[in-house]
């Protein structure tokens, strides 16, 4: 507004000056990416599955350290929700999903191409540290006295839970369906439920607050995680560089240390 007052009465602003203002005066929120005049991104916005919170936070810091002046903006949530946001026009540079099905929502809209599977994840039964309901195996979740939380079926952790329970021939009636794996695990950590089906990596991240119980049917419900730089990524090359970091040995080390499996 100060700029306009100083030049009030001028016939027209030079086009080049207007472009400078557009590039330099915009705000960079969680769903926007700014670039310098040379085309190098100052921000890269990454939409990532909730189960990637800890690992992508670490990788984001590593990327910023390797690219001084660049900010990595991370938006975590249900992969299904993030995919819909991207399709509906949310500005993002990179999408890392917890399932091929949710990535397909984006590729079918021609907003990404050739996603790469970078890790896999499998379920565990999460119980509070003291395991008050004495849950030992998957069939214990069918006990009506055991309060169970599951992810909603439309999100990857929920779809995996359905596959695992079908493989075991079991029917579980949860007391709550949650919109992502972190919300599901929170119910366990707070003692609001006796057990939940969540990813191995989330159990590891919550060590001390919950305990994980492996079960064989989890092998029938392994989730592949694809990642892609988005076709209209405002950050351009910087988005591809972030994907490269995730796919690198450094990225693999961070992810496997957290409990993810490599493809």
The number of residues making up the chain comes to 263
Question: CB count, 10 Å around CB of 57?
Answer: 15
Q: For residue 199, which of 24, 72, 55, 70 has the smallest C-alpha distance? A: 55
The answer to whether the beta carbons of residues 220 and 26 sit under 8 Å apart is: no
Cβ atoms of residues 79 and 155 within 8 Å: yes
* Residue 41 confidence (pLDDT): 61
Contact by Cβ (8 Å): 242, 43: no
pLDDT for position 239: 97
Q: What is the pLDDT of residue 89?
A: 95
Enumerate domains of the chain plus CATH numbers. Answer: 9-120+224-257 (3.40.190.10), 123-220 (3.40.190.10)
Question: Block means of pLDDT (10 residues each) for the chain, length 263 residues?
Answer: 34 34 33 40 93 98 97 97 97 97 97 96 96 97 98 96 97 97 96 97 94 96 97 93 98 98 94
Q: What is the pLDDT of residue 36?
A: 35
- Do residues 224 and 121 lie in contact, with contact meaning Cβ atoms separated by under 8 Å? no
């Amino acid at each position: 507004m100060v700029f306009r007052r100083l030049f009030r009465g001028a016939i027209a602003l030079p086009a080049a000056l207007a472009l400078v203002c557009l590039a330099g005066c915009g705000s960079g929120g969680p769903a926007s990416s700014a670039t310098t005049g040379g085309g190098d991104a100052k921000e890269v916005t990454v939409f990532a599955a909730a189960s990637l919170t800890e690992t992508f936070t670490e990788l984001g810091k590593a990327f910023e350290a390797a690219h001084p002046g660049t900010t990595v903006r991370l938006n975590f949530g249900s992969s299904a929700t993030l995919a819909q946001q991207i399709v509906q026009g949310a500005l993002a540079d990179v999408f890392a999903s917890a399932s091929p099905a949710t990535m397909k929502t984006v590729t079918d809209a021609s907003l990404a191409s050739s996603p790469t599977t970078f890790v896999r994840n499998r379920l565990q039964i999460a119980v509070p540290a003291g395991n008050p309901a004495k849950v030992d195996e998957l069939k214990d979740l069918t006990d009506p006295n055991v309060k169970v939380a599951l992810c909603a079926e439309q999100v990857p952790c929920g779809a995996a839970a359905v596959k695992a329970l079908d493989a075991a021939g079991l029917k579980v009636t949860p007391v709550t369906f949650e919109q992502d794996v972190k919300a599901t695990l929170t119910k366990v950590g707070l003692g609001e439920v006796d057990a939940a089906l969540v990813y191995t990596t989330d159990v590891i991240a919550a060590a001390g607050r919950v305990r994980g119980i492996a079960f064989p049917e989890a092998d029938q419900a392994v989730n592949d995680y694809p990642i892609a730089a988005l076709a209209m990524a405002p950050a351009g090359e910087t988005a591809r560089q972030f994907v490269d970091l995730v796919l690198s040995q450094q990225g693999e080390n961070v992810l496997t240390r957290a409990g993810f499996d490599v493809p």
